[in-house]
A and B are shown apart, each in its own frame.
Chain A
Amino acid sequence: MADTAQSPLETATGPPDHSEFRSRVRVFLEEHPLAVPRGATVDDDIDEADSVRRAKTFQAALHDAGLAAITYPAEIGGGGLDKSFQEIYHKESAAYRLPVFPLAISHGMCLPVLNDFGTDEQKSEHLEKIIRAEEIWCQMFSEPGAGSDVASLQMRAERDGDQWVLNGQKVWTSGAQYCDYGLVVARTDPEQPKHRGLSMFKVDLSAPGVEIRPLRQITGDAHFNEVFLTDTRIPADWLVGELNMGWSVAIAMLMYERVALGAGGVSGGGGARPGAKRIAELAREHDRGDDPVVRNALADLYIRERLLTFIGMRIRAAADAGRAPGPEGSIAKLATAALAKDTTELILEVIGAGATAWPADDDSAETFVMAFLSAPAMAIAGGTNEVQRNIIGERVLGLPKEPSVDKNVPFKDLLVGTQR
């Protein structure tokens, strides 16, 4: 790890030039055993602990090479370089599958939020550790009674001396089982209307009173959890952003989430979804390459992939130029969810009877069917398609807002969740 505030790539005479940087990136990716060229076969059959270990190993090496969080200041562990370098990294890494999936939320959402809203102490304590994946963070917003309407959440945070005491339940918390900290939205003032009495906190998931229970998904995996907080005490200065202003922090985080989910992630360089070209190979392997139905569908996917690439480029350009992510995040997220669904359906069409059942040792068929089963979740996680369309309708087109009955009523008087 670099122990100076200087990027390891920076020379005594200033930042590296682009071609030098590009060759550094290439060398790093070529040499790192965990960066796998797309198209090469990988051993996907590893357990979660292994994939977290791989993510950490890779990310630490990336950071040592000065290639992690490239546009973040060097003082907090970033690369200290401008967006043009980030673009180079994106282009180069797109040819690889990087083992960073377990870091998607930590890097795509928690890192920028902490950077935007955290106190100086919080930043110096955590940012570099998050960038290096010494710490992994998760998002704790949804509750049993509060999903699309997350502002109606009931988790309470009450002040007791120089501490906050948290009580309540979160649900669908992705990755909590291997995360160190969570960003938790809790209600700090029930006298105010639902959007106004919320605050954001960082919570140590190993603290007393935190109980994490895995929830299994339709694929049989347990990527998400219920998290119960019972009299969990945290220091007063673990508040992230201002007191009772948690909704704006949450909104910022949700925008980063859409961008991360839609634009292929900030650190991943494209998701794991197989593209039209890969499916074309599969079609040839299954003697369906000449089939006009398959060809039409492939061309359609290919065109939509292109569009999504452009949307992603635009989003990153805006982010690199320092503009807050806007509604194009919603567009990207909608397009990604639809593409994932149609892509996995086409794969099943191509593999035909092989998708109805497969031998116990046939990983490839099972991987495809699991991808097919998990694709619909992308239209739900991070705000459902309907929520994204409402955002586009109301914020971009300027259509009137959906009538709401509860916007100005004190939260304590609302009939939500267990208050009903």
Chain B
Amino acid sequence: MDFTLDEREQAVSDLATQILTDKITMERLAEIEAGDEWFDRDAWAALAASGLIGVAIDESHGGSGADLVSLGQLLRAQGATVAPIPLLPTTLAAAAIAELGGESLASDILPGVCDGSTILTIAVQEYLDDDLATPAAEVSDGAITGQKIVVEYADLADHMLVSAVADGRSGLYLVQPGDAGVMLTEGLSSRLEPVWQVDMAHAPCVEVTSADGAVGWLVERMRAGLCAIQLGVTEAALKLTAEYTTERQQFGRPVATFQAVTQRLADQYINVAGIRLTTYSALWRLSHGVDATEEVSIAKWWASERASAVAHASQHCHGGMGVSVEYPLHRYTLWNKHLTTSLGAGTRQLREIGARLAAP
């Protein structure tokens, strides 16, 4: 790989950016935050209409057949516009169904995903449990019992992809949030959007896969996806900060001419470049079926640790404006912090990389 986007990836990036910047204005976001659904249905429909939601789904199921690198461009565009849409869970649950599930499940569900009518979500996180590969949720007699937290869009999703153990094997199962035996409790995420705690008591489920490593397969792609969103978030925040500090005058000159500001922002440029390179490398390896364990951890470290530095610097260089919700930056700050802690912040990645390096 040479770290430049090929024609198709560039086209996905341009189209997604165009649609999302057009739909997701700051006024629109304020409207959505004030409303009762954290979902821009209009933007979702526009993405579906131009074939983007199914970008990484096979053509036989109505998608465009591109790979994770292209999907990464879509997620990056979402981050750049902080678009409230269920993109990561829908596209990655779809990828799991396509790659790991049976053909009949795929042809049941994926066409609806591509045309925007079916929303999917992912439920893998359990309370105070960092080891996602061995969930406490259990399957018996075709029904799941257990609890999941931080489930996005559980209220709107048609299917949830749930990790659970059956006969001692971890696997992935589909549950319908509206079914008997499923209880949704609303909570708040550090992005200050609603997320759900899902309690399942003998909730009917359908097996997608119980193959070895299926949960790890999914979580690895989710982490890489979070990195791609974070890339868009940090790129946009840095751009906003460069514009603001160039415009903002104090002491008779733009604050960007103070070297304390210039140098700090130059460091953030390097941080964003690090997030970009490591994320692309991880996505590329995942797309090409090469082991990406280490690359995903490295990318997530950059997208957590160094992304935090970007959040702090961009907030700080805005002065009081960076703290106030009257100005768009705060949304990037909230997303950044949320993505940083999601599925393991920096220390967790270091531990995983260190364990591999120093293993006896």
A residues apposed to B, CB below 8 Å: 142, 145-149, 152, 171-172, 215-218, 220, 224, 286, 293, 341, 345, 348-349, 352-360, 362, 366, 369, 372-373, 376-377, 379-381, 384-386, 389, 402, 404-406, 414-416, 420
Contacts and interface: CB of A to CB of B under 8 A. Distances in A.
B266 interface: no
B186 to A, nearest CB: 6
Contact of B324 (A146, A216, A385, A416): A216
Interface stretch (B78-86, B123-131, B171-179, B292-300): B123-131
Contacts of A224: 320, 324
Contact of A357 (B189, B251, B316, B333): B189
B150 A217 contact: no
A405 B188 contact: no
A356 B128 contact: no
B260 interface: yes
Given A220-B192, A376-B323, A357 B149 contact: yes
Contact of A358 (B188, B323, B330, B334): B188
Interface in B290-342: 308, 312, 315-316, 319-320, 322-326, 330, 333-334, 337-338, 341-342
Contacts of B130: 352-353
Contact of A353 (B125, B250, B261, B334): B125
A370 to B, nearest CB: 10
Contact of A389 (B260, B312, B342): B260
A184 to B, nearest CB: 18
B121 to A, nearest CB: 13
Contacts of B185: 359-360
A217 B323 contact: yes
A147 B323 contact: no
A384 B319 contact: yes
B258 interface: yes
A357 B190 contact: yes
Contacts, number: 127
B10 interface: no
Contacts of A293: 347, 351
A369 B190 contact: yes
A345 B189 CA distance: 16
Which of A215, A357, A386 has the largest number of chain B CB atoms within 10 A?
A: A357
B311 to A, nearest CB: 8
B195 A357 contact: yes
Nearest to A147: B319
Given A216-B325, A349-B347, A386-B258, A356 B341 contact: yes
A353 B150 contact: yes
Given A353-B150, A356-B342, A357-B149, A216 B320 contact: no
B270 to A, nearest CB: 20
A379 B319 CA distance: 9
B47 to A, nearest CB: 25
Given A380-B323, A384-B316, A384-B319, A373 B337 contact: yes
A215 B324 contact: yes
B279 interface: no
Contacts of A381: 320
Given A142-B320, A216-B325, A349-B347, A360 B250 contact: no
A352 B316 contact: no
